[in-house]
Each structure stands twice: as structure tokens, then as C-alpha cells.
Amino acid sequence: MTIRYPNGQPYTSKSSLPSHHNPLKKSNYSGRGMTLEQDIDETNTYYLHQGVAVIHKKPTPIQVVHVDYPKRSAAVIREAYYKQASTTDYNGVFQGAYIDFEAKETRNKTSFPLKNVHEHQIEHMRQVLTQSGICFFLIRFQPADEVYLLEAHHVIKYYDEQQRKSIPKKDIEQYGHTVKTGLHPRIDFLKTVKQLYF
């Protein structure tokens, strides 16, 4: 199936598994072999069942333009377009506060590229911060399997400096916060949020 952005460009999911990924490969307790979004989804399910927070991945409405019917009982979507640009990946409520965040992972060892952060996402984050919402990025450096929580105002600052193409990892280590990985929950980002905001 092909899904396209409103400008017609094809969408490639950042949570798509690499072509060399072995689906039979088991991941260890820290989630190696899984995407960041899969780990966050499992974490959010854990938070929900434990009554800790209500956080969900935001659905993005699509317009279906081409469907095949190989069988009478089955339809296969072959082409679709996003009706509107997405904002951030997740939002919800934790201890009475609104939370909004974006999940990104990179194979780069020394920096986080800004090419996948879009202007409409930055503007959305500015609006959330204006309303005193909690807004941040969860960034996983795949080679080291390290996850950092970086508050949105830091990313906005780097994004606004037009000559910047990326955020050095050393700056993320300085301004961001390491998020520990485990079994239950996989990525306990709310522990970090609690330390920062409550």
C-alpha cells in the first residue's frame, strides 16, 4: 500500500523494520530488535493498565484513493493520502498535566539529524508550550541503544538556528535526560517527566 503526504510525497514509516531484520529474532529486556514506537506503545499500555497515565499514539486521518478487491471478503488499500500534516506522535494526560511528544530514532552515532523534524511540528510544539503543556522528544540512538528525553524548547532552539542540520549527541547528553529501559515498563519516560515537571 502506498500512503502519501498532502504534497503527494510518499510516506515511509520511521517505525518500519530494516530489510535485514529477522522477525524470528528475539529482543532482550531492553527492547533491542524492536522499534522505538513499539517500545513506547508497550510502555503506554503498561501505564494505562497500571493507572499511571493515559497516553496514546495520535491517529492520522487518511484519504483512500485506490482499493483492490482480490476476494469478495477482502479489500486491499493500494494507495492513500494523508488528509493533513501530522503534529507529534503521542499525547495524553499524566497527573493532571497535558503531555505531547515526538519519538525519533537514529542510526547516527554522533548527532540527531533535524531533517525529519518539520516546521508544522515545531509550530505545534510552540503552541503546546504556550499553553503550559509538557512537550518533548524521545530520541533513541540505535547503535548504543540509548534513549534520551530532550525538552521541546531545546529542539526548537536548534531548529530555529537555520544553519543547524543536526543536534550533536554531546549536546543531547548535556541538555537531555537519559531514560532507562527495562521490562515493565520498557521505556519509563514518565519517571523522567515526573522528576522534571512535578
What confidence score (pLDDT) does residue 57 get? 94
- Nine cell digits for residue 178: 537519559
The answer to whether the annotation marks 127 as part of a ligand binding site is no
pTM above 0.75, yes or no: no
103, 116 contact by CB (below 8 A): no
What confidence score (pLDDT) does residue 68 get? 82
- Which ranges of 31-168 does DSSP label H, i.e. alpha helix? 36-49, 119-130, 152-160
The answer to whether the annotation marks 121 as part of a ligand binding site is yes
Between CA 94 and CA 181 the distance in angstroms is 20
What confidence score (pLDDT) does residue 122 get? 94
Identify the architecture of domain 27-59+85-197 in CATH: 3-Layer(aba) Sandwich (3.40)
The answer to whether the annotation marks 102 as part of a ligand binding site is yes
Parse the chain into domains and list their residue ranges: 27-59+85-197
What confidence score (pLDDT) does residue 84 get? 55
The answer to whether the annotation marks 37 as part of a ligand binding site is no
- Averaged over successive runs of 10 residues, the pLDDT of the chain (198 residues) comes to 60 49 39 76 97 90 75 76 72 97 95 91 96 97 95 96 88 96 92 95
